Amino acid sequence: MSEVPEVRPPVVTPVRVVIAVCLIAPFVAMLWVGSYAKTDPAFIGIPFFYWYQMLWVLISTALTMTAYKLWQRDQRARASQKGGASK
């Protein structure tokens, strides 16, 4: 009697790569200080250094939310593939 091996979805998928990029991008942007360590161009009187960082707060929020939604969708798809219950 031969057992059929369990077919598992790959661990690294394009969706998971997008999730990783969404989560890593803010760190790269903030650690690359040379890209924003300047005062010009100013925006409504605020030096570039400050408004760039504040802009990344908003961008980071959007990217984290996107990663979370993609992760939820990926987990639901994996659960339905296994025949399990999804949340």
pLDDT in tens, the chain (87 residues): 667 676 676 788 899 999 999 999 999 999 999 988 888 898 999 999 999 999 999 999 999 999 999 999 999 988 888 765 545
How many whole angstroms separate alpha carbon 75 and alpha carbon 87?
Answer: 9
By residue range, what is the domain housing residue 21? 14-74
Q: Is residue 29 part of a domain?
A: yes
Strand partners, 43: 46
Domains of the chain: total: 1
Q: Whole-angstrom Cα distance, residue 29 to residue 59?
A: 11
Is 81 domain-assigned? Answer: no
Q: Indicate whether 2 belongs to any domain.
A: no
Q: What is the pLDDT of residue 72?
A: 96
Please give the model's pTM, rounded to 2 decimal places: 0.77
Nearest to 52 by CA among 39, 70, 65, 68: 39
On whether residue 34 sits in a domain, the answer given is yes
| Long-range contacts of residues 34-41, Cβ cutoff 8 Å, at least 24 apart | none
- Of 21, 23, 25, 20, the C-alpha closest to 35 is 25
Does 86 reside within a domain?
Answer: no
